[in-house]
Amino acid sequence: MEYVCDLLETVIASISFFMIKKYILLEKDLPRKQQGLLFLIAAVLTGTVFFIFGKTAAEVVCAAAVVVNIVLARKKPYKLMGLIMIFALPIVNGIMVPLMVVPPYLLSVSGYLWQLAVYSILGAAFLLFIVLGKKWRRKFVINTVNRNLSITERIMLIVGGIISTVFSLKIGRTTDAESVSELDIKEFVAISSLFAAAMIAAFVVMVIQGNKRSYVLRKYTNMQSHIITTMADIIENRDESTGGHIRRTAKYVEILAKELQHQGKYADILTNQYISDMVMAAPLHDIGKIHIPDAVLNKPGRLTDEEFDLMKTHTTAGKELLQKAKGDLGEIHYLNMAIEMAAYHHEWQNGKGYPYGVSNEDIPLCAKILAVADVFDALTSKRIYKDPLPFQKAFSIIREERETHFDADVVDAFIVSSEKIKAALDDFGAE
């Protein structure tokens, strides 16, 4: 019976390590074929080591396979954090060891019989999860898409793993005896280990609940984004020549912002949240056009000075509309961004833009980025009064207006990102 218990424990621990890696630590998998090969190698090595050296050595081999998985699946700058998170892997011991040792001790029953029963139940549950639990696994994966553990969660899980290791070493040796009741286990060790197990379980539940909150928040954010895009579409459809302008522009904004972030420019401003808000707000930059008469908005020829002055008011009108929305809806980050984009996206670096004639640092960064994206899309799109320019011609115009119309850093990011910009233009299609 001891041998069977050891075998079951090794199998349960091996599966648990990989499940903790994916569903608790939220570490990414390798590509499908590589992941399958790693599983196969880990299973063969773990089994071989078990039969030769025993369960402890086999579990170490399996944990090493998880380490390899995490390191290979992570990008270079984050591999160190992946290694540090290995300290959280023993959290399974923090629950399993007290469960295997303390109840038999308190109930005075055979330790191995108890272990066999618990491991059999867990093994059946894991088997169902792996073989029949496609829907459950999909739910876990959906909940963790784009979700990363916070620093607090990482620290708590690492601490939990260390605590688990301490208690495993303290009372884990008792599992070799036929009857745990015959062992000299102090009551305070049993009670404290149960408290530790409860704390570690709470850590795990906290992460799972965090995953669910992240999923709900993401769905809510996506719903907001769809509402914003739909509203912008309604306004855009008044302009018979703009086509998919708002979607292309938002994509260009995202590309430029991420390139600037990659270059380390405006590091104190370009956080991930700032970029996310900017992409969400970009479709609203022309919302003020709802106040522009159709005769001016869709005029096939050149606008008169009076008509152009009226067209310019879409910036301040958009700002006022969005400020009113902010007053009704409360403090929402992307609305603050949308207000700045609507008001300033036609300003020039040299101060010759409109509506305020500001320049350089007086123009918000989000508006500087949008200005390049907006003008490039206008150049490469068909308008009622013009045909689209070829990509290279439009590209040259953006480059020529560096430091006059556009911010130099943003134009430099545009030049570096030319292939991505071209791909986005092809994917969305200029109309």
Residue pLDDT, tens place only, 264-311: 999 899 998 899 889 988 988 988 888 888 888 888 888 899 999 999
CB of 341 within 8 A of CB of 281?
A: yes
pLDDT value, residue 362: 94
Residue 143 has pLDDT above 70, yes or no: no
SS3 assignment, position 402: strand
For residues 232 and 284, the answer to whether their CB atoms sit within 8 Å is yes
Q: How far apart are CA 236 and CA 230, in angstroms?
A: 10
Domain at 237-428: CATH code: 1.10.3210.10
User: Can you tell me the mean pLDDT for 9-35?
Assistant: 82
Supply the DSSP symbol for 20.
Answer: I
Closest listed residue to residue 167, CA positions, set 106, 103, 94, 101: 94
**Burial (0-12, 13-18, 19+ Cβ within 10 Å), 123:** middle
CA end-to-end distance (rounded Å), the chain: 73
Contact 97, 171 (CB under 8 A): yes
Q: Taking residues 56-73, report their average pLDDT.
A: 86
Residue 77 has a CB neighbour count (10 Å cut-off) of 7
pLDDT digits (tens, 9 = 90+) for 252-269: 999 999 999 999 999 899
CB 315 within 8 A of CB 259: no
Tell which residue, 161, 156, 31, 144, has the closest CA to residue 95: 161
What percent of the chain is predicted at pLDDT more than 90? 28
Give percent above pLDDT 70 in the chain: 82
Q: Report DSSP letters for 44-63, one per residue.
A: HHHHHHHHHH-HHHHHHHHH
Judge contact between 27 and 141, C-beta under 8 A. Answer: no
Q: Where are the domains of the chain?
A: 2-214, 237-428
| pLDDT at residue number 176 | 45
Query: How many Cα neighbours within 13 Å face the side chain of 414?
Result: 30
Max distance between CA atoms of the chain, in angstroms, equals: 99
Cα–Cα–Cα angle for 180, 185, 188, nearest 5°?
135
pTM of the full structure? 0.57
Residue 13 pLDDT level (bands cut at 50, 70, 90): confident
Output the DSSP codes for 113-168.
HHHHHHHHHHHHHHHIIIII-HHHHHHHHHHHTT----HHHHHHHHHHHHHHHHHH
- Helix axis angle, 333-344 relative to 272-281, nearest 10°? 60
Distances, alpha carbon 402 to alpha carbons 16, 66, 396, 409, in Å: 56, 50, 10, 9
Give the model's pLDDT for residue 146: 65
What's the whole-number average pLDDT of the chain?
A: 81
Residue 183 in this model has a pLDDT that exceeds 60: no
User: Is pLDDT above 80 for 41?
Assistant: yes
Q: What are the tokens at 385?
A: 């009064």
Q: Note the residue count of the chain.
A: 431
Predicted local confidence at residue 186, as pLDDT: 55
What is the identity of the amino acid at 280? M
What are the tens digits of pLDDT across the range 232-255? 666 666 665 555 788 889 999 999
Contact between residue 250 and residue 279 where contact means Cβ atoms under 8 Å apart: yes
Q: What is the pLDDT of residues 351-367, one digit of tens each?
A: 999 999 999 999 999 99
For residue 87, give the amino acid letter.
F
Judge contact between 247 and 232, C-beta under 8 A. no
